Chains A and B, each alone.
Chain A
Amino acid sequence: MFPFDSSKKLSFSRYISDGDLLIVYERHDNMKAVKVSESGVLQNRFGVFKHSDWIGKPFGSKVFSNKGGFVYLLAPTAELWTLVLSHRTQILYIADISFIVMYLEIVPGCLVLESGTGSGSLTTSLARAIAPSGHVYTFDFHEQRAASAREDFERTGLSNLVTVGVRDIQGVGFPDEFLGRADSVFLDLPQPWLAIPSASKMLKQDGVLCSFSPCIEQAQKSCETLRSDFTDVRTFEVLLHTYEVREGNLRSWQDNDGGSMSLKSCKKRQRSTKGLENASSLTIMARRNGESRGHTGYLTFARLKCTL
């Protein structure tokens, strides 16, 4: 997924080849991860796409089906992966993910501990941030889930950056081999306060911990536990509002004969033909999307106290 040698780098001169992982983009809310194979086909509502037609085209190309329908072929990114991965658990989304990565002060070379692995949505972004020389050790107590995550990291080419372990971190803590070595620790557990004492032993001094909990009671209990070994304990909620943009025909009051049509939207397809007739009243308007996520979880961050 991320380029670790220049031949894999995204570029004009890099063409899709057999075995590449692609994100097939139909619409912003309809994407799919596909591994290219010489004999493969993709079938969707637009028709049948032959992989062999894709090979040799640059990433970012528009490709057509037997019926003339089209999709775009994109190189995978952590953000796109989050939208297409198979949900084995509730996953973290971009607003939380990007904030976590920055607030945990993760830079290339860092050693990061995570539990649980879940569906690996955050893990993918953690891996991007520690690359090329750091490592993410992620733990889940669910054996199959860990195995599926491992397969995913294999598929996305991250297995040299991520190690998945099966372990009950709440019950037994992180493995001793990480004592005092972790730059950052991320917890997404039902009872994070049980894992905090272990996390504090793993962190370097001044290292940052983050705990994600959907419920305020969990955050409250975590904060109480954090206050003994940690400082700078802060809890946040982060959300993303998205906007829809349209070019509309807002008619003036004086010209409005019927009164029933106050807002006429001008669809993209019509714009070129009849949109310009009323050029003076064409307005680009933005409004928040009607539906949005109202809550994901509370993010509690804390720094290990310096005692040396």
Chain B
Amino acid sequence: MDSLISDMSTSKSGGISCKDQNRRITWEGCSVLLDINDGDRVLFARLTAGSKIKIGNKNCSLQPLIGCPFGSSFQVEDGKEGPVLSRVLQSTKGNSLQITEESRDNRMLVDNNSAQSLTGEDIDEMRRKGASGDEIVKALIANSATFEKKTAFSQEKYLLKKQKKYAPRVLLRRPFARSICEAYYKKHAERIGFLRVDTLSLLLSLANVSAYSDVLLVDMLDGIVTGAVAERLGGTGYVCNTYCGVTPYPINIVQMFNFNDDISPRIVHSSVAELHSYENGTSPPNDQLEDASTIRSQQNEQILSPSGQNADSMEENEDGNMEIMTDVAASTKVDKGTKAGRKAPVEAIKLWKENGFSSLIIAAPNLDPWGIVKEVLPLLSYSASFAIYHQYLQPLATCMNTLQAEKLAIGLQISEPWLREYQVLPSRTHPHMQMSATGGYILSGTRISGGDQTQTM
């Protein structure tokens, strides 16, 4: 792994994993989330000298982003060799409007498309002469017949709209479970099974994911849950993805996290047959194990290789709003030894068999929850928490009813999180006009010991 950022390694919190799970400055080869114009477009990229993004019709190198703090903003400027991304330092003075009374209104506004006297050609001409985006926005305001008549609120809106078009901003975000889940939910919710960020956070809490946990996972949401759990474990415990058959489910999203060499090896997989096979001390048939691992390693290559199908298909998108750049996969320094998503070591499987997993999370949108639960619940320790996500209520209701009837768990509850965002501005505070109507459902509970008969009266 790259050398530590000095201020991180001298941090007094004295932790072992603080060193680089929590790095706040980008480095060559790190994964970043680029937020263009306040979430209008979000994309994942890996910062290398050669990586580029397209903003409007301009191709910009991502080189200037290397070594910058996460949270910094960039604007496209014209350099000697074409457009370059240049850091915008955020001012610390307030930028909000302070208006108490508004005398203007929109009675004089007529929507006949004649308010703006600058034409498209004029703007192109300005651009050719090297005008910056900010200058164009100023010119647009100066040439708007109606700008002065607008209320201060709509002036602010107008400015923001023009700034987005002519002087787009790129915000460099840390790829954390929060930002990754939000980015996917906003642009490609179907890829993560419509799992909203508050639902994901609840899954982690309800399943009691904490350091040193051994978390059993059925993650069919391309690895979003796997990544979020691994982030919480911080290089302790294990995240074990289990599956039926011989092929583990893809966990491509894990690559978006900047997991270090402590964390990645903690992300493993093992088929449900393997997890059950050490029962009563019997080993699984050898050929079956080999089979699974060979197939897995092929699969692995497909996911990780730059030219693999997977990387390409991730890039496809209908609306162009969210891209996962090819070089996220391409430039990953592939060190086979520390890669996420290896086969679970046999010793670990044996330990799990002996001790049980300490948490269980299931996120399998197209499968019947009970069918999974009856297979994997016995792998959990007694008193261990579990949480099952589903987009639909009914399958969870049926599953809960069965769990109750079979007396396998207590504290059973189906919860549905509700999240509403507010616009909070002076004299303009109200809930957002649009909100997500559902974040899905979670069935949670605690496994109990089935030993009813051994009662002491």
Q: Which residues of A come within 8 Å of B, CB atoms? A: 2-4, 6, 9-14, 25, 28, 53, 57-64, 66, 68, 70, 72-75, 77-79, 94-95, 97-99, 101-103, 105, 107-111, 125, 128-129, 131-135, 181, 183, 204-206, 216, 219-220, 223-224, 227-229, 231, 233-243, 245, 247, 268, 271, 284-286, 298, 300, 303-308
Contact = CB atoms under 8 A, between A and B. Distances in A.
B385 A77 contact: yes
B31 to A, nearest CB: 15
21 contacts: A10-B356, A10-B383, A11-B354, A60-B384, A61-B382, A62-B455, A64-B455, A94-B205, A98-B201, A99-B198, A103-B197, A103-B201, A109-B16, A110-B13, A219-B422, A220-B426, A240-B418, A242-B413, A243-B415, A284-B394, A308-B69
Given A10-B383, A12-B356, A107-B232, 16 more contacts: A2-B212, A10-B381, A28-B413, A58-B383, A70-B455, A78-B208, A95-B417, A99-B197, A102-B197, A108-B15, A128-B211, A183-B22, A235-B422, A238-B417, A240-B417, A306-B73
B205 A98 contact: yes
Nearest to B413: A242
Contact of B72 (A241, A271, A306): A306
Nearest to A247: B401
A242 B416 CA distance: 6
A99 B425 CA distance: 23
Contacts of B405: 268, 271
B449 to A, nearest CB: 5
Given A72-B448, A241-B415, A285-B397, A135 B355 contact: no
A58 B449 contact: yes
A58 B450 CA distance: 11
B383 A75 contact: yes
A293 B401 CA distance: 25
A18 B14 CA distance: 33
Given A4-B212, A64-B457, A98-B204, A228 B94 contact: yes
B139 interface: no
B76 interface: no
Contacts of A216: 424, 429
A304 to B, nearest CB: 8
Given A12-B355, A242-B413, A59 B205 contact: no
A245 B21 contact: no
Nearest to B90: A305
Contacts of A75: 383
From A74, A108, A306, name the one whose CB has the most chain B CB atoms within 10 angstroms: A108
Majority secondary structure of chain B interface residues (helix, strand, loop or mixed)? mixed
A204 B90 CA distance: 15
A135 B94 CA distance: 32
A216 B174 CA distance: 30
Contacts of B354: 11-13
B232 A72 contact: no
A78 B414 CA distance: 18
Contacts of A6: 212
A65 to B, nearest CB: 9
Majority secondary structure of chain A interface residues (helix, strand, loop or mixed)? mixed
Contact of A74 (B232, B383, B394, B397): B383
Nearest to A58: B382
A163 to B, nearest CB: 12
Interface of B: 11-19, 21-22, 24, 69-73, 89-90, 92-96, 174, 176-178, 197-198, 200-202, 204-206, 208, 210-213, 231-236, 354-356, 358, 381-385, 393-394, 396-398, 400-401, 404-405, 410-426, 429, 441, 446-449, 451-452, 455-457
B14 A13 contact: no
A10 B358 contact: yes
A292 B373 CA distance: 28
A271 B406 CA distance: 12
Contact of A205 (B69, B396, B418): B69
A53 B191 CA distance: 50
A79 B19 CA distance: 29
Contacts of B96: 224, 227
Nearest to B236: A132
Contacts of B93: 228
Contacts of A64: 455-457
Contacts of B22: 107, 109-110, 183
A109 B21 contact: yes
A98 B92 contact: no
The 9 closest A-B pairs by CB, nearest first: A133-B15, A108-B234, A60-B382, A206-B71, A109-B18, A11-B355, A60-B383, A59-B383, A102-B201
Contacts of B457: 64, 66, 68
A243 to B, nearest CB: 4
A191 to B, nearest CB: 16
Contacts of A11: 354-356, 358, 381
A234 B420 CA distance: 11
A284 B401 contact: yes
Contacts of B415: 240-243
B208 A284 contact: no
Contact of B416 (A105, A224, A243): A243
A268 B391 CA distance: 26
A231 B93 CA distance: 11
A77 B208 contact: yes
A51 B261 CA distance: 45
A228 B96 CA distance: 9
A109 B13 contact: yes
A286 B178 contact: no
B176 A105 contact: yes
Given A28-B411, A111-B13, A125-B205, A241 B416 contact: yes
A249 to B, nearest CB: 14
B416 A240 contact: yes
A199 to B, nearest CB: 14
A109 to B, nearest CB: 3
Contact of A107 (B231, B355, B412, B420): B231
Nearest to A127: B210
Nearest to A82: B205
A103 B178 contact: yes
A165 B178 CA distance: 30
Given A95-B198, A206-B24, A12 B397 contact: no
A83 to B, nearest CB: 9
B422 A79 contact: no
A144 to B, nearest CB: 29
A94 B205 CA distance: 8
A101 B178 CA distance: 10
B384 A236 contact: no
Contact of A108 (B92, B236, B425): B236
B356 to A, nearest CB: 5
Contacts of B197: 99, 102-103
A245 B397 contact: yes
